[in-house]
Structure 1
Amino acid sequence: MKIALLQMTSGIDPLVNATTVTDAIAEAKANGAAMLFTPEMSGLLDRDRARGGANITSEEADPVLASVRKSAAEHGVWVHLGSLALRRLDGKLANRGFVIDDTGAIRARYDKLHLFDVDLPTGESWRESASYAAGDSASVVETPAGRLGLSICYDLRFADLYRSLSDAGATVLAIPAAFTRPTGAAHWHILMRARAIEAGAYVVAAAQTGVHEDGRATFGHSLVIDPWGEVVLDMGEEAGLGFAELDPARVEDVRSRIPVLNHRRPIPVVTTAS
Structure 2
Amino acid sequence: MSFKAAAIQMCSGIDPQKNAADMARLVRDAAAQGATYIQTPEMTGAMQRDRPALRAMLRGEADDIIAKTASGLAAELGIFLHVGSTAIGRGDGKIANRALLFGPDGKKICSYDKIHMFDVDLDNGESFRESSAYEAGGEARVADIGIAKLGFAICYDVRFPQLFRAEALAGAEILTVPAAFTVQTGEAHWEILLRARAIENGAFLIAAAQAGSHEDGRRTFGHSMIIDPWGKVLASAGGEGEAVLVAEIDIDAVKAARAKIPNLKNARDFALDTVPAVAAGGVAA
TM-score bracket for this pair, using the shorter chain length:
over 0.9
- The residue type paired with residue 61 of structure 2 is E
1:253 aligns with 2:269: no
| SS in structure 2 of the partner of residue 246 of structure 1 | strand
Farther-moved stretch of structure 1 (27-36 vs 158-167): 27-36
Farther-moved stretch of structure 1 (84-93 vs 8-17): 84-93
| SS in structure 2 of the partner of residue 203 of structure 1 | strand
User: Which residue does 1:71 correspond to in 2?
Assistant: 73
**Structure 1 unmatched ranges of 5 or more:** none
User: Which residue does 2:283 correspond to in 1?
Assistant: none
User: Could you say which structure has the larger radius of gyration?
Assistant: 2
Residue 137 of structure 1, CA deviation:
0.7
Match of 1:241 among 213, 219, 244: 244
Q: Distance in 1 between matches of 2:187 and 2:147?
A: 28
Work out whether residues 25 and 72 of structure 1, in 8 Å CA contact, stay in contact via their aligned partners in 2.
Answer: no
Q: Distance in 1 between matches of 2:61 and 2:133?
A: 16
Q: How does 1:125-204 map to 2 (within 5 A)?
A: 125-143=127-145, 145-204=147-206
User: Which residue does 1:209 correspond to in 2?
Assistant: 211
Q: Distance in 2 between matches of 1:77 and 1:14?
A: 22
Deviation beyond 4 Å, 4+ runs, structure 1: none
Farther-moved stretch of structure 1 (100-109 vs 172-181): 100-109
What TM-score, normalized by structure 1, do the two folds share?
Answer: 0.97
User: Which residue does 1:52 correspond to in 2?
Assistant: 54
- The residue type paired with residue 272 of structure 1 is V
**Structure 2 unmatched ranges of 5 or more:** 278-285
What TM-score, normalized by structure 2, do the two folds share?
Answer: 0.94
Residue 143 of structure 1, CA deviation:
2.4
| SS in structure 2 of the partner of residue 34 of structure 1 | strand
Farther-moved stretch of structure 1 (212-221 vs 60-69): 60-69
Match of 2:14 among 12, 16, 19: 12
What is the alpha-carbon root mean square deviation over aligned residues? 1.0
Residue 80 of structure 1, CA deviation:
0.9
Tell me the number of residue pairs that the alignment of Structure 1 and Structure 2 aligns. Answer: 274
